[in-house]
Structure 1
Amino acid sequence: MKKLALFTLPLLMVGLMACTTATKAPKVEKKNFVPEVPKLTSDIMTPEVLWSFGRMSEAEVSPDGKSVVYAVTYFNIPENKSYRDLYSVSTDGGTPVQLTDTPEKEFNPQWRPDGKKIGYLSSKSGSVQLWEMNPDGSGQHQVSHIDGGIIGFKYAPTQDRILYVQNVKLDKSVHDLFPDLPKANARLETDLMYVHWDQWHDYTYQHVFVTDYNENNVVAGTDIMKGERFDTPMKPFGGIEQINFSPDGKKIAYTCKKKVGRAYALSTNSDIYLYDIANGETINYTKGMMGYDINPVFSPDGKKLAWESMEHDGYESDKNRLFIADLATGDKMDYSKNFDQNANGLVWSADSKKIYFISDFHATDEMYALDVAADSITRITDGVHNYQSVMPAGDKLIGQRVSMSHPADLYSVNPADGKETQITAINKKYLDQLTFGKVEKRWVKTVDNKKELVWVIYPPHFDPNKKYPTLLYCEGGPQSTVSQFWSYRWNFQMMAANDYIIVAPNRRGLPGFGTKWNEEISGDYGGLAMDDYMSAIKDVAKEPYVDNNRLGAVGASFGGYSVYYLAGHNNGYFKAFIAHDGIFNFEAMYTTTEEMWFVNWDLGGSYWDFKNPVAMKSYAKFSPHKYVQNWDAPILVIHGGHDYRIPYTQGEAAFNAARLRGIPAEFLYFPEESHWVLQAQDGILWQRVFFNWLDKYLK
């Protein structure tokens, strides 16, 4: 149920609120008026304020290490529409410069290798094409003229070529099969994977093309995957990070899972492929490596290739290893074999001697460095935060950082001592007017005498002499750390602002606490993870400021499953529940979800495999629908119509079961949303219904 993150959603601009403290670049045609941030009437955050924040993404450091280009998205709430523009700032800090100001959404910013231009994608011409501008935002002009538009691009380091991604139609729709029925509204499916996460397959595949670079006229190039019914980047979350040129511009490394239909649904085995531009030959560089192999990056000296690798086929939450290959000998080595953590977002140092990456440890995401020659890993940063990226910039590192109390900004980090300096302040004018609650780290003893890290978030203006309603937050994933993330839906400060104490445990089955802890969820959904939830809430509930008569449990995805399961084992402990996009009935889930490797690994297999003890235990003991007779507290069920990972019928079934039993219940259904809530007005509605429900039963 996870993999989110691992991608950046295109978000954008609020008409009634301001963006940043950036100055405007010269010669930028102004298209959008963005007023200043208003003076707020309260220092307590509201959903409207939360949805007015600027959202940073896609930062990239210039070749000389002196500047960073990045995107900021704002939502216009009345229009229910988002806008995105590009900005730059010095890596030493200072006043940001707004580079674009258009109705279109500029994205995929890339510095040209010579540093004289910034390339980006825009739909200003009617289709998405490559555009370029000077580093100050002037001289914006269209570069590519490719029929059908493009999705992403990269410059070759030698600047004589570019690669781009384009959708190629290779499958036939019913209109292709029956052209005399143009108004027929139907699909004819013959295999699995006709839906994925939030969309139906559109008969196209993402392919990589390579073409000559000309700053005035880039034209269609060569499809390096011609005729292949596979996607690069891999849908739906893969981005341009899954493809890279070699330093000499002669090869392209790309990520692909070359399987279709049923085979695709049952396997996580993606590979790294190397394409030789001169002779058109492709080799599978990771053949025989059976898990996820993704995101290849060449060392600047061209001698090595690094990538992220999981070992086991079918296990999407396996340890993410750091592999490096010697391109001359072909030798491959796991440089994280003695490092019991994940390695994400690999980037080489300019001298090819180090690899910087992000890893989660004890519920924070930090910068790390691998010394390749010494085969040793060093932690660089240490704080109550999450770094989402790391980029070398001369003698410093630049990273995008968030926490439970701060949305994304850029920071400069000294790799020698980890000292951090904030270099952007996108939402300062809002944050200066708001009071956030204290975030406290707490270690709790589990039923099997281990220690569980629990975050406790207190209301703003917390008074220890008062008694507060308290919420147990159940994390999704199932293997996604309750780290220092900043969310625009499950936002802990937003919950605390409504005068709730939040208890957010890193229960069994989460990374950042060693491989064994992470794996103790698969095949045991209703076991130790549920005990860990109860250990956390019962420990915090001992405090005099927690009202034990006003406890609730909330969560999404696996967290929604957790709420359904806890509701059936409640015995009056919780007085209200909220479940978003949760699994309610394991048997129905198994044959209606899309990525079969997920349910095979996590539930143990199919419900008809009676000789499989792990599967039989899951279906017999852990499916929440078997315990509806024990439900005794009001429940709000939320689901999206375009959620194909956990279909909306799971939420519908849970709501119907509650009402048939006479349990107070509401069903908040978003026909156009998916596993997430991405539109501004839907997001604000979500927050209002969420807190109206809790206030009704816990206040």
Structure 2
Amino acid sequence: MMKKISILTCAILLSSVTFAQQAPEKRVNRSLITNKLYHLGNERMTPEKLWELGRVSGEGLSADGKMLIYGVSNYSFGENKSEKNLYAVPLKGGEVRQFTSETGGESVVEITKTGDVIYLFKGQLWSKPLHGGEARQLTKIADDLENVKLSPDGKYILFSRPVLVKKYHSVDKYPDLAKSNVYIYDDLDYRHWDSFNDGRFNHPFLASYDEGTIGEPIDLMADEAFYSPQAPFGGADDFAWSPDSKAVLYVCKKKFGKEYAQSTNTDIYRYDIATKLTSNLTEGLMGYDTHPVYSPNGKNLAWLSMKTDGFEADKTDILVFDRASKKRVNLTGAWDGTVNSFIWSKDGRKLFFTAPTKGTVQLFEVEVNFGKAASTVKQLSEGLFDIGDIVGETDGGLVVSSTTLTRAAEIYVYDFKKKSLQAVTKVNDDAFAKIAETKVEGRFTKASDGADLFSWVIYPPNFDPTKKYPTLLFCQGGPQSATTLGYSFRWNFQLMASQGYIVILPNRRGMPGWGVKWNQDISKDWGGQPIRDYLSAIDDLAKESYVDKERIGAVGASYGGYSVFMLAGVHEGRFKSLISHCGLFDMTSWYGTTEELFFANYDLGGPYWDKNNEKTYTEFNPIKHVDKWNTPILIFQGGKDFRVPIGQGLEAFQAAQLKNVKSRLVYLPEENHWVLSGHNAQVWQREFFGWLKETL
């Protein structure tokens, strides 16, 4: 169950973020961001202003590391869609140049050593000189290209393509019934995320490539059936080329049906072009093995790995394989943390990676060491910001994306010597300059078991501690997702605070960044200590004189929605209003309808008919506490959400209605576990804040 939030950078960040009731050893240092001073305005963030922000992505660096290509997606309310274009800017300052302007959206595949930017546009490859010139269309094939990787020598292209393997859909099984629409299954994995399995599986394809001409593609899994990038979250990172262009790597979970639905055991496979033989490079490793990347000199292969089959939120480590000695080492195995993503350093001696730590996401490095001593992990950045993607290495630093609780993603250079972030893009500077400040505070309190519990607290503009404010407890999903300083375009805490609410974001049990044990303690204890952590956090904040104790609400999605349903039955009068989005309401019916059973088997303990799991389906089951429901509740439910299927929201709404609890159902028939349509998102925001205004 599923990849953040913001604070205005620079002086705003330094002045508006403080820490209350902190244990000295847990104090989080203020950031050293060097950037322009933002002069804040008096406007408050609104749903409309939120969606008018440009969404920035780092696309790639020139071969010399001096020029950045980045993308900006802008949403059109009139057309209800986003348009993405590419831009180029020198890292050390200079004119921003719009690189593409065609309607459709472009994504960089690679930037060549000769200075050509190769990008995907409308399913085809295009090329354009980085420093000026006309775009050339390189490919014209019938089917769109996906997950493209060009070989280092430029002679081959690797991509994925759906292949009909099983005739699940009636029009495939019975060609004479072309107007039928029926699905027939004999096994599990019949649907995933928001789509029913139509029998088509993505296979890796290899073809010769010469000046844009693609030869006859070869299906690398023609003799095997079932491959797919880790949809909906995988992609081109599941593919890699060997440095000599003689082999390709691809990630695959070569399982089917019930085995596929109950396992996370992906492996990295190597296909040799000359011999046409496939070998499993990670055989014996039982969890997720993903994101294979060769070192710049080609001597070593690194990838992300989890140990435990079925545990999707297991500690993620970086493993490295030495091609000469055949040795394999876990670089981060002894480190008490979990890795988000990584890149190789240019010299191939170390890896840079991002990881959650103490309520933020920061940069780390680890040297490649095949000796007996464990590799040492070193934290590079520290501050009141999140580091998102690492775009690449430049002279003296790393190019990264970064956010805060009140600042959307922009691209920065993290300077190794100055240990600070220097802004490269300023796409949303003008917009944020008009927005009134919302103070952010870090807060430590004691959990019910005596543990230190950290929370972020964000306050309304012009916060006056002599006044009283309605307050929201935010319950995070995942359940092992971090609550850090990212920036969301739906669960936006700057937006919530701008409507006059104090919002508290506890780093309850289950969140990464506080040690592996803290991260894993939520499994099989969903309704136990994590729920008590939420109550401890809100009870502590409610002691403050500026919190209106008669106007406290709880909101959340996914596991956060489950938490709201649980709290509805155990909060003992703390909350006046509740909002649950795609929350799990009845663990028994949820187990019988969700698609990724490995998640349910590990985190819940297994099926409801196993007596060893009785606590999960009784004490930790929200439906068992409905007799105590008496608080107004708003329920959002996506019609195409197969992770938390539609019945969960409908059951909860029906129970509330039959108990005469003030309740409202907002059904989004075309949305999945998220809300992706701009217009639907606006409805979501209006209903969200309308409900709070009505009930809180």
Q: Check whether TM > 0.5.
A: yes
Write the mapping of 1:491-510 to structure 2, written as runs, cut at 5 A.
491-510=492-511
Moved more, 235-244 or 366-375: 366-375
Q: Give the Cα–Cα distance (whole angstroms) in 2 for the partners of residues 210 and 384 of structure 1.
A: 45
Q: Is the 8 A contact 2:564 2:580 kept in 1?
A: yes
Contact 2:523/2:604, CA 8 A, preserved across alignment: yes
The alignment partner of 1:568 has SS state of helix
Structure 1 segments unaligned to the other structure (5+ residues)? 6-39
1:567-601 deviation per Cα after TM superposition (whole angstroms, max 9, x unaligned): 00122210000000000000000010000001111
> SS state of the match for residue 529, structure 1?
helix
Distance 1:581 1:73 in 2: 27
Residue among 260, 266, 272 paired with 1:276:
272
Report Cα offsets for 1:76-122 as digits up to 9, x if no partner.
01221121111122222333221111221212x03343242111111
Identity rate, percent: 42
Q: How many residues are treated as equivalent by the alignment?
A: 656
CA distance in 2, matches of 1:376, 1:53: 40
Quote how far apart the aligned CAs of 1:169 are.
Answer: 2.3
- Name the CA distance, whole Å, in 2 between partners of 1:222 and 1:4: 40
CA distance in structure 1 between the aligned counterparts of 2:406 and 2:41, rounded to whole angstroms: 20
Residue identity matched to 1:639: Q
Deviates more, 1:237-246 or 1:283-292: 237-246
Once the 2 structures are TM-superposed, how far is the Cα of residue 225 of structure 1 from its aligned partner? Answer: 2.1
The answer to whether structure 1 residue 52 and structure 2 residue 52 are counterparts is yes
Change (3 A) 1:533 1:685: same
- Between stretches 208-217 and 651-660, larger displacement belongs to 208-217
Counterpart residue number, 2:18: none
How far is 1:61 from its partner? 1.5
Q: Which amino acid aligns with 2:459?
A: Y
In structure 2, what is the Cα distance between the partners aligned to 1:623 and 1:138?
62
Superposition map of 1:333-412 within 5 A: 333-373=329-369, 375-390=375-390, 391-412=392-413
1 CA distance for matches of 2:459 and 2:274? 61
- Is the Cα contact below 8 Å between 1:170 and 1:204 reproduced in 2? yes
CA distance in 1, matches of 2:395, 2:155: 25
Residue in 1 that maps onto 2:675? 677
Aligned equivalents of 2:131 and 2:577: distance in 1? Answer: 54
Query: What is aligned with 1:206?
Result: 202
Q: Give the secondary-structure state (helix, strand or coil) at the position aligned to 2:448.
A: coil
- Residue equivalent to 1:488: 489
Partner of 2:9: none
Equivalent residue number for residue 139 of structure 2: 144
> Which AA in structure 2 matches 1:140?
A
- Contact 2:268–2:281, Cα closer than 8 Å, also in 1: yes
Of residues 320-329 and 206-215 in structure 1, the stretch that sits farther from structure 2 once superposed is: 206-215
Question: Matches of 1:493 and 1:527 in 2, distance apart?
Answer: 30
Residue 118 (structure 1) aligns with: 117
Q: For residue 532 of structure 1, what is the aligned residue in structure 2?
A: 533
**Please, which of 126, 150, 155 is the counterpart of residue 150 of structure 2?**
155
Q: Specify the alignment match of 2:165 in structure 1.
A: 170
Letter of the 1:156 counterpart: S
Query: Matches of 1:666 and 1:372 in 2, distance apart?
Result: 55
**Structure 2 CA distance, aligned partners of 1:647 and 1:505?**
27
Provide closer, same or farther for how the CA distance between residues 208 and 181 of structure 1 changes in structure 2, counting only shifts above 3 A. Answer: same
Shift of 1:405: 1.1
Once the two structures are superposed, residues 448-499 of structure 1 have per-residue CA deviations (whole angstroms, 9 ceiling, x without a partner) of 1110110000001111111000000000000001111100010000100110
Is the contact between residue 144 and residue 219 of structure 1 (CA under 8 Å) also seen in structure 2? no
C-alpha contact 2:345 2:393 (8 A) present in aligned 1: yes
Higher relative contact order (CA 8 A, sep 6+): 2
Do the aligned partners of 2:265 and 2:310 also contact (CA within 8 Å) in 1?
A: yes
Letter aligned with residue 119 of structure 1: I
Quick check: 1:262 aligned with 2:258?
yes
- Is 1:646 matched with 2:647? no
Distance 2:51 2:279 in 1: 46
User: Is the 1:93–1:422 Cα contact (8 Å) retained in structure 2?
Assistant: no
Shift of 1:436: 3.1
Write the distance in 2 (CA, Å) between the matches of 1:121 and 1:563: 42
* Pair 1:421 & 2:417 matched: no
Change (3 A) 1:89 1:255: same
Q: 1 CA distance for matches of 2:599 and 2:3?
A: 11
Q: Where do residues 602-617 of structure 1 align in structure 2 (5 Å cutoff)?
A: 602-610=603-611, 614-617=612-615
Alignment of 1:512-523 (within 5 A): 512-523=513-524
RMSD: 1.7
Aligned to 2:633: 635
SS of 2:484's equivalent in the other structure is coil
CA distance in 1, matches of 2:666, 2:204: 40
User: Please, which runs of 5 or more residues in structure 2 have no aligned partner?
Assistant: 6-39
Report the CA distance between 1:213 and its aligned residue. 2.8
Amino acid at match of 2:535: M
Q: Is the 8 A contact 2:303 2:319 kept in 1?
A: yes
Q: 2:42–2:436: 8 Å Cα contact kept in structure 1?
A: no
Would the aligned equivalents of 1:571 and 1:632 in 2 still touch at CA under 8 Å? no
Q: Distance in 2 between matches of 1:393 and 1:158?
A: 24
Residues 170 and 203, structure 1, Cα contact 8 Å, conserved in 2: yes
Whole-angstrom CA distance in 1 between matches of 2:195 and 2:504: 34
Separation in 1, partners of 2:224, 2:4: 26
In structure 2, the partner of 1:594 is: 595
Q: Which moved more, 1:409-418 or 1:530-539?
A: 409-418
C-alpha displacement at 1:528, in angstroms?
0.4
Partner in structure 1 of residue 103 of structure 2: 103
Contact 2:338 2:516 survives alignment (8 Å) = no
Establish whether residue 94 from structure 1 lines up as the match of residue 91 from structure 2. no
Following superposition, the deviation at residue 422 of structure 1 comes to: 0.6
Matched, 1:668 2:666: yes
| Match runs of 1:427-466 below 5 Å | 427-466=428-467
Q: Is the 8 A contact 1:113 1:158 kept in 2?
A: no
Counterpart check, 1:253 vs 2:254: no
CA distance in 2, matches of 1:192, 1:564: 29
Q: Which residue identity does 2:632 align to in structure 1?
A: P
Q: What is the identity, as a one-letter code, of the residue corresponding to 1:253?
A: L
Partner AA of 2:668 in structure 1: F
Residue in structure 2 matched with residue 320 of structure 1 by the alignment: 316
Give the equivalent residue in structure 1 for 2:24: none
Alignment partner of 1:691: what SS?
helix
Structure 1 residue identity aligned to 2:259: A
Deviation at 1:642, TM superposition (A): 0.7
Please name the residue that 1:12 is paired with. Answer: none
Answer whether contact 2:242 2:294 (CA < 8 A) is retained.
yes
Report the Cα distance in structure 2 between the residues aligned to 1:414 and 1:563, rounded to whole angstroms. Answer: 42
CA separation of 1:70 and 1:207: change in aligned 2, threshold 3 A: farther
In 1: Cα distance, 2:354 partner to 2:53 partner: 25
**What code does the residue aligned with 1:307 have?**
W
Q: Distance in 2 between matches of 1:84 and 1:220?
A: 31
Aligned partner of residue 511 in structure 1, secondary structure: coil
Aligned-partner residue type, residue 147 of structure 1: A
Aligned AA for 1:184? S
**AA in 2 matched with 1:354:** K
In structure 2, distance between residues paired with 1:255 and 1:185:
32
Residue 607 of structure 1 and its aligned partner are, at CA, apart by 0.6
Residue in 2 that maps onto 1:623: 621
The residue type equivalent to 1:340 in the other structure is: D
- Please point out which of 281, 286, 297 is paired with 1:285: 281
